[in-house]
C-alpha cells in the first residue's frame, strides 16, 4: 500500500484515531472527551469536551516558547512602500492589547465583530484579538459595496465593527470610512462601536461617541489574556455567495479548525515550522483566513501579508521580488494572478532579475487551473505547480497533490486526489454512484472532516437545504466533475448559479435581484461567460416592460452602475443587453445553462422542455453581435 493510500484509508475508516493523532499538534487546556460525536447527523461535532484557544495556538505558544523572536508576519506593501517584520513576541503584545481594547468596549465571548479592512497587519491582529477573547469575527472583503456590508451587518448583528480609513487598490486610493458610514446608515442593526485604524494617506472623519481610534484604544486598554474555549465554540462567520442575494454565513468552530489547519500545513503543503510561507490572497476570503492568518501561524511559520497586486505594483515582477526578498519557500495564489503576469510578461523577463533559488512550490486554487497557465507557470518557475480544489465551506483542500504525504505525477486539469478526510464520490441525480470517468455531482460522504462548516450562522434550515438534503448522507459541493480510474479528481465547474471571477466567488442570482429592481425591467438573466484573464465574467440580459420607450443603451448603463453600487466593483459587471425574450422551459425556468453554452461556443442539446426553440436563435444572434463566443 502506498503512503497516501495508508493515510487516506485510516482517515476514512478510523477517523477518530486519525484526527485524535492530528490533534496532538495543538495545545489543549483540556483534551476532548470524544474525538467525533456522531449522535446528531448531519451535525457532526469534532473534539467535543476539549478546551483550547485558537489565538493561544497561533500566537502565545510561539511567543512564550522558542519562537519569540522569529518573524510571525512580514507586511510587504509596495503600494505604501513599506516592509515591516513582526515577531511572535510583538504579535502577542499587539493582539493582547487589541483584545483588551475590544473588552473595554464591552465585546465579550460569543459577541460578533465585523472586520472590514485592507491588507494590513491590523486586519490579522483584529481577527486574532477576537479569537483571543472568544468573540466571533466576520471579515467582509473590502471590494464589497456598502449595501453588501450592510446585509452582513444585519445578519451578523455585530457589537463592534473594525475598519481602516482606506486602502490603495493598485493605483487608486480608496476611502473606506464613507463606505462604512453608508453601510451603517443602511443597516437596521445598530453597531455600538466602530474601531478605526487611520492610515497616513487618507484621514477619516470620526463620529463622536461611536468611533474610536485604533491607536488610542490599544494605548489605554489593559492587555487581555486568552480565554478557555470549548473546541466546539464558534471562531468565525464568513459570508460567501449562494444562489440568491442573501449570502451564506459559513460558521467555523475552534478546535476542529485548528487541528485541521495544523495538519494541512505539513500534509498538503509540506511546510514546517520556521518556513516562510506566502498566500497572496486577501483576509476577506477563506484562503486569507486559513492560509494568511490561522494555518501558518498555528504551525509557527513566517507568513507574508502582501498589500499589492501581481501586476502594476509596480510591475509584473512583484511576485518574484517578494519571493526573492523574503526567501519564500512556497506561494499559494489563484490562477488568475498568473494569467495576469503571463499577459504582461509572457517571456518572463522580470523573473530573470530575481534569484528565487529557495522557492520550492507553487500552489494554485480558487478556480479551475487551465492547462495553459499550468504549463506556463511550470516552464517559468521550474518547480512543481500544484492545483488544489476547495471551498469557503471546507476551509481547506478537498482534493490536492499532498506533497507532505506522497507526491503524485501531475495530470494537468486535475487537482489530483481526495485529501485524507474527504470521502469523495460522484453521484448521478438519482443518488447512484457513477463509474470512473463519468461526470456527475461531486459529493463527500459524511462525516466531513474537522474544520469544515458546522452550520450556517442562524440558519440551520438553509444549511440542510443547501448541502445535506439533495444527497442524503453526503455533503453536496455544488461542483460537477468526475474521478478517473486512477483516483484523480476533475472539477468541471459549478452546477448552480455561482460564478468565479478572478478567483472570487459571486452569485449571478444576486446580480439578477438587483437588475430586476430597475423600474423598466420586466425580467432578466445573468450568466457567467468565459474570460481569458479572470476565468469568468458576468453578462446580463434583460427584457423591457411593455410600453417602455427609453433607449435600452441608457438602461444598460444604469444596470451596470446599479450592480457596481450594490455589490461592488469586484462583481466586474460591465455588460448588459436588452433582448426581446428569454429562452425558457415550458414551466417558465430560464435556460441559463443553454445560454452559457452558446456564449462559450459549446455544443448543446436542445432542451426537450423548451417552450420556443426560436428564441435560442435570437439569443445566439445577440451574443454573436456582442462578440461571443470570444476568440
Ligand atoms: N477593495 C476595494 N476594491 C477592490 C478590492 C479591494 N480590496 N479588490 C478589488 N477591488 C476592485 C478593483 O479595484 C477593481 O475596480 P475597478 O472596476 O474600479 O477597476 C475591481 O474591484 C475588480 O478587481 P479585480 O478583479 O481584482 O481586477 P483588477 O483588474 O484590479 O486585477 C487581477 C486583476 C487578476 C490582477 C486580480 O484580480 C488579482 O490579483 N487576482 C488574484 C485573485 C486572488 O487573489 N483571489 C483570492 C482568492 S484565492
Ligand atoms: P470559494 O468558496 O470562493 O473558495 O469558491 C469555491 C469554488 O471555486 C468551488 O466550488 C469551485 O467551483 C471553485 N474552485 C476552487 N478551487 C478550484 C480548483 N482548484 N479547480 C476548479 N474549481 C475550483
Q: Is 476 in the pocket of ligand 2 (CB under 6 A)?
A: no
- Selecting from 3.40.190.10, 3.40.50.12780, 3.10.20.30, 3.40.50.300, what CATH number does the domain 3-308+388-481 have? 3.40.50.12780
Non-local (6+) Cβ contacts of 555 within 8 A are 518, 520, 521, 542, 544, 576, 578
Q: How large is the C-alpha radius of gyration of the chain?
A: 24
pLDDT of residue 610: 85
pLDDT digits (tens, 9 = 90+) for 134-157: 999 999 999 999 999 999 999 999
Residue nearest to atom 22 of ligand 1 (CA): 570
CA-to-CA distance for 117 and 94, rounded, in angstroms? 17
CA-to-CA distance for 443 and 424, rounded, in angstroms? 6
Q: Which fold has domain 502-625?
A: GMP Synthetase; Chain A, domain 3 (3.30.300)
Would 3-308+388-481 and 502-625 be classified into the same CATH topology?
no
Total-model pTM: 0.96
Non-local (6+) Cβ contacts of 472 within 8 A are 431
State the cell numbers at 464: 440542510
Closest-lying ligand 2 atom to the alpha carbon of residue 494: 12
CA 289 vs CA 67, 83, 126, 197: distances in Å: 22, 21, 12, 20
Which residues, given as ranges, of the chain have pLDDT below 50?
none
State the cell numbers at 333: 495564489
Please check whether residue 578 is in contact with residue 542, taking contact to mean a CB–CB distance below 8 angstroms: yes
Q: How far is CA 550 from the centre of its chain?
A: 40
State the cell numbers at 343: 499577459
Coil, helix or strand at residue 329? coil
pLDDT of residue 171: 83
CB count in 10 Å sphere of residue 409: 8
CA-to-CA distance for 279 and 322, rounded, in angstroms? 11
Q: Which of 313, 563, 570 to mutate to test the pocket of ligand 1 (most atoms within 8 A of CB)?
A: 570
Coil, helix or strand at residue 550? coil
Q: Is 367 in the pocket of ligand 2 (CB under 6 A)?
A: yes
Coil, helix or strand at residue 426? strand
Burial zone of 41 (CB within 10 Å; 0-12 exposed, 13-18 middle, 19+ buried): exposed
Residue of 318, 322, 262, 320 whose CA lies nearest to 291: 262
pLDDT of residue 84: 98
Q: What phi and psi values does residue 75 have, to the nearest 5 degrees?
A: -90, 110
According to DSSP, the residues that pair with 440 across neighbouring strands are 481
3-state secondary structure 130-191: HHHHCCEEEECCCCCCHHHHHHHHHHHCCCEEEEECEEEECCEEEECHHHHHHHHHHCCCCC
CA-to-CA distance for 533 and 475, rounded, in angstroms? 31
Q: Is 569 in the pocket of ligand 1 (CB under 6 A)?
A: yes
Q: What is the DSSP letter of 199?
A: B
Domain ranges in the chain are 3-308+388-481, 502-625
Helices 508-515, 552-566: crossing angle, 10 deg rounding: 130
- Give the neighbor-by-neighbor strand order of the sheet with 234-240: 211-213, 193-197, 160-164, 112-116, 136-139, 234-240, 248-253, 455-456
Q: Which of 393, 500, 536 to mutate to test the pocket of ligand 2 (most atoms within 8 A of CB)?
A: 500
CA-to-CA distance for 192 and 197, rounded, in angstroms? 17
pLDDT digits (tens, 9 = 90+) for 83-132: 999 999 999 999 999 999 999 999 999 999 999 999 999 999 999 999 99
Non-local (6+) Cβ contacts of 199 within 8 A are 80, 120, 164, 165, 166, 167
Q: Which of 502, 503, 538 to mutate to test the pocket of ligand 1 (most atoms within 8 A of CB)?
A: 502
State the distance from the centre of ligand 2 to the C-alpha of 566, rounded, in angstroms. 24
Amino acid at each position: 500500500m502506498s503512503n497516501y493510500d495508508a493515510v487516506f484509508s485510516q482517515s476514512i475508516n478510523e477517523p477518530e484515531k486519525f484526527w485524535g493523532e492530528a490533534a496532538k499538534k495543538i495545545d489543549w487546556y483540556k483534551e476532548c472527551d470524544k474525538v467525533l460525536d456522531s449522535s446528531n447527523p448531519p451535525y457532526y461535532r469534532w473534539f467535543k469536551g476539549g478546551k483550547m484557544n485558537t489565538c493561544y495556538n497561533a500566537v502565545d505558544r510561539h511567543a512564550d516558547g522558542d519562537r519569540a523572536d522569529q518573524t510571525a508576519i512580514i507586511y510587504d506593501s509596495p503600494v505604501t512602500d513599506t516592509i515591516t517584520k513582526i515577531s511572535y513576541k510583538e504579535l502577542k503584545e499587539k493582539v493582547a492589547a487589541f483584545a483588551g481594547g475590544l473588552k473595554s468596549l464591552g465585546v465579550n465571548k460569543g459577541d460578533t465583530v465585523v472586520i472590514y479592512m485592507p491588507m494590513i497587519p491590523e486586519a490579522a491582529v483584529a481577527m486574532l484579538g477576537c479569537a483571543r477573547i472568544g468573540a466571533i469575527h466576520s471579515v467582509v472583503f473590502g471590494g464589497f459595496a456598502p449595501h453588501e456590508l450592510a446585509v452582513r451587518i444585519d445578519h451578523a448583528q455585530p457589537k463592534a465593527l473594525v475598519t481602516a480609513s482606506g486602502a490603495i487598490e493598485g493605483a487608486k486610493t480608496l476611502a473606506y470610512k464613507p463606505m462604512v458610514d453608508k453601510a451603517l446608515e443602511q443597516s437596521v442593526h445598530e453597531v455600538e462601536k466602530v474601531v478605526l485604524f487611520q492610515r497616513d494617506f487618507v484621514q477619516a472623519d470620526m463620529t463622536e461617541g461611536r468611533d474610536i481610534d485604533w491607536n488610542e484604544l490599544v494605548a489605554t486598554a489593559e492587555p487581555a489574556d486568552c480565554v478557555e474555549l470549548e473546541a466546539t465554540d464558534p471562531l468565525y462567520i464568513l459570508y460567501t455567495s449562494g444562489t440568491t442575494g442573501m449570502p451564506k454565513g459559513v460558521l467555523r468552530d475552534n478546535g476542529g479548525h485548528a487541528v485541521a489547519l495544523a495538519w494541512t500545513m505539513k500534509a498538503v503543503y509540506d511546510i514546517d515550522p520556521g518556513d516562510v510561507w506566502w498566500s497572496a490572497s486577501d483576509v476577506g476570503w477563506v484562503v486569507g483566513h486559513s492560509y494568511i492568518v490561522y494555518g501558518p501561524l498555528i504551525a509557527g511559520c513566517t507568513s507574508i501579508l502582501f498589500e499589492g497586486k501581481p501586476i502594476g505594483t509596480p510591475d509584473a515582477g512583484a511576485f518574484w521580488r517578494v519571493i526573492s526578498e523574503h526567501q519564500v519557500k512556497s506561494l499559494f495564489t489563484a490562477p488568475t494572478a498568473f494569467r495576469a503576469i503571463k499577459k504582461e510578461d509572457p517571456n518572463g523577463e522580470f523573473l530573470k532579475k530575481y534569484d528565487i533559488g529557495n522557492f520550492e512550490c507553487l500552489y494554485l486554487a480558487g478556480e479551475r487551473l487551465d492547462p495553459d497557465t499550468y504549463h506556463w507557470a511550470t516552464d517559468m518557475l521550474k518547480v512543481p505547480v500544484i492545483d488544489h480544489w476547495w471551498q469557503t465551506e471546507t476551509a481547506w483542500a478537498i482534493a490536492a497533490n499532498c506533497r507532505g504525504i506522497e507526491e503524485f505525477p501531475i495530470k494537468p486539469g486535475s487537482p489530483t486526489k481526495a485529501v485524507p478526510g474527504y470521502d469523495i464520490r460522484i453521484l448521478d441525480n438519482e443518488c447512484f454512484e457513477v463509474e470512473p470517468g463519468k461526470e456527475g455531482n461531486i459529493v463527500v460522504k459524511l462525516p466531513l472532516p474537522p474544520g469544515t462548516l458546522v452550520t450556517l450562522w442562524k440558519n440551520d434550515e438553509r444549511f440542510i437545504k443547501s448541502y445535506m438534503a439533495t444527497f442524503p448522507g453526503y455533503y453536496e459541493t455544488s461542483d460537477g466533475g468526475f474521478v478517473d480510474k486512477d483516483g484523480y479528481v476533475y472539477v468541471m465547474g459549478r452546477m448552480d448559479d455561482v460564478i468565479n471571477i478572478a478567483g472570487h466567488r459571486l452569485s449571478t442570482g444576486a446580480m439578477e435581484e438587483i437588475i430586476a429592481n430597475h423600474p423598466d425591467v420586466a425580467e432578466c438573466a445573468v450568466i457567467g461567460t468565459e474570460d481569458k484573464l479572470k476565468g469568468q465574467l458576468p453578462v446580463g440580459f434583460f427584457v423591457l416592460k411593455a410600453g417602455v420607450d427609453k433607449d435600452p443603451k441608457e438602461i444598460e448603463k444604469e444596470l451596470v452602475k446599479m450592480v457596481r453600487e450594490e455589490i461592488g466593483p469586484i462583481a466586474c459587471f460591465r455588460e448588459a443587453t436588452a433582448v426581446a425574450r428569454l429562452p425558457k422551459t415550458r414551466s417558465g425556468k430560464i435556460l441559463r445553462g443553454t445560454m452559457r453554452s452558446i456564449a462559450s461556443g459549446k455544443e448543446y442539446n436542445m432542451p426537450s422542455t423548451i417552450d420556443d426553440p426560436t428564441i435560442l436563435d435570437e439569443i445566439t444572434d445577440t451574443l454573436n453581435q456582442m462578440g461571443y463566443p470570444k476568440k
